[in-house]
Structures are given as structure tokens and as C-alpha cells.
Structure 1
Amino acid sequence: MADKTVDQVEKTEQRLYGLWKKSNDRTVSKDIKALSEAYRVAVAQVDTVLPFFVLSQNYNAQTRDFELFIGSVYERDGLETLTLPAGIYARMTVRPWLKCLWGPAIGAAKRFFYTHCLPGSPYEAMNMEYECHTEKSLGRHPEIELFFAVEKKAVL
């Protein structure tokens, strides 16, 4: 489950290399699995690539479609680039009860952030979020960090 703590971090620009795919709330689990496999083939890596990023952006609430990116910091021919912008990010740590429950744990953390943390805060979402998997994702008590791009709300 998600640690209910959300903190704010200032991040510098970071370049990632990976693959993009259009996705949807209904197909995201299958899409992440397929895109992750395609990424591993593209980088000729059978084992886990770390750090590993799963990013979504440009979510459309009406159609529930978004852009999905899978990648890492390792440049390889044939991969597309993504630049994570410098700025303010909200950060949450997710620790599923079991490794096979990553999807539900991440979904619960995202719902908590958007329904409990963001409303009433001085920030608004910038429609870009990502998971960062590191060595901490692999152990007996796995965890990942979720990052949500945010900015100060405009003062009227």
C-alpha cells in the first residue's frame, strides 16, 4: 500500500530513453507488460533494467486515454527520448503487500493523491506522473516512488 505521506521535491531535468504507446485505463496493465517486454528486447536486456521508469502523461478524463512511456537512463539505438522537466514534484512511496499487487497499490496511491492530497493544496497537477523502480523494488519488502509533476496554483 501507499505510504500516506506526500512530500515535495525539487528535481532537475533528466533525460530518459525508451518506448511510447497510447494507452487507456482499461488496457494499461496489458500495455505496461507489453511495452516493458518490447523495451527489454530493444535494449537486449532479459533481466531487470534499473532504474526503470513507467510514465503517463496527457490523460484525457473523458476518453480515459493517455500516453505511456517505459524506459530508463540508458541510451540505445532505436529508443525514443523523453526529458523529465525540472521543477516541483509531489512524491509518494508505494509498498505493496505482495509483489504481484503492484498495480492495485499504485492505483490506490494515485487515487489518494488526486482525491485527498491535491484538493485544498496550493498545487495543481501538470498531467504527468511516473513510477521510479530502483533496487528497492526488488527486495523482500519492495517499494517504488511515485512522482507527480505539480505547479503552484495561479493566484486570482
Structure 2
Amino acid sequence: MSNLEVNIEYIEQQTIYGLWQKSNDRTISKDINALSKQYHDVVSMPEGKVLPYFVLSRNYNEQSHDFELFIGSVIDKSGLESYVLSASEYAKITVKPKLGFLWGASIGEAKQYFYTKWLPTSSFEALNLEYEYHTEKSTKKQPTIDIIFAIRRKAIN
């Protein structure tokens, strides 16, 4: 496991526009590719040219491994649904692709680290919403993306 660091950041409310689809752990790669293509067709822009770019999942069901998948950005176009990301504290892990291009492995490792190592020992609980935040940093020679996790401070008993 590489050196992963979780940072807590306050992020302002933001409205994003995109497309929703049901997904599952088994089909996520195929679903992201298909939904991403559909999204880029609606905004009439090629992949990699829409920044910032969000790949969001929410309402993960631990029994079925199903969840809701959203692909989008800040571009408001007819045919897209809006979604409001609440102003709040979020946990952020910045990742680099494995071997320069394998984002899936890096993202999976970051999510596993967050949920199994960091979260149980933190003073936070997860709110079942997370997203990949692609910016200009994603397209640089040494690319990185941020994985953002919705969290809240645990109630003190």
C-alpha cells in the first residue's frame, strides 16, 4: 500500500450537472465508460476536455454491492440532471495512477484504505457518498485526481 494521506477540507456548496445510472461493483468500469460516453455526447465535448469532471457514487448497498453512479461537471445543458454537493467538511485522498495510466487500481486502493484503515480510527463517519474530482491536475505529465468522501463528525456520547 502506498503512502496515502487523508486530509479534511471544507468544500463550498456546488451544483453539478450530469447523468445518473444504477451500477454495481462488478459492472462499475463498464458503467463508467458507457455513462461517460453518453455524458460527453450530451455536452458535445470530447473526453478529457470537460474539467472539472465528477465521477460520483452514493447509496452503496453492502449486501447487493449496488449503488447510484453519476457522471458530470459544472456545465448545465438540456438533458442533464442537477445534483447539489452540500457545503461541508469532506475527507480527501489524492491519488496517482499505477504505472502512469491505471486509475482503477489507485482509486480502489484509496477507497479501501479510507474505509478499512483511516475511518475506523478517526472521529468521523462516512455518509455514503464519494466522488472522483478530476481537474487540470488529471491531465498533467504527473497526473493526480482527488477522491472526496462525504463525512461528518461522530456524535460524542
Q: Distance in 2 between matches of 1:138 and 1:106?
A: 16
Deviations 1:75-121 (A, max 9, x none): 00110001001111001100013343101110000000101100021
- In the alignment of these two chains, the number of paired residues is 156
CA gap of 1:88–1:45, structure 2 versus 1, over 3 A, is: same
Instruction: Tell me the C-alpha RMSD between the 2 structures.
Output: 1.2
The runs of at least 4 consecutive aligned structure 1 residues that moved more than 6 Å come to none
Q: Is the 8 A contact 1:2 1:105 kept in 2?
A: no
Structure 2 residue matching 1:62: 3-state secondary structure:
coil
Which aligned pairs between 1:9-20 and structure 2 lie closer than 5 A? Answer: 9-20=9-20
Q: Distance in 2 between matches of 1:2 and 1:51?
A: 26
* Unaligned ranges ≥5, structure 2: none
- Name the TM-score, length of structure 1 as normaliser: 0.96
Residue of structure 2 equivalent to 1:107: 108
Aligned-pair identity (%)? 53
Which aligned pairs between 1:46-125 and structure 2 lie closer than 5 A? Answer: 46-48=46-48, 49-125=50-126
CA gap of 1:145–1:2, structure 2 versus 1, over 3 A, is: farther
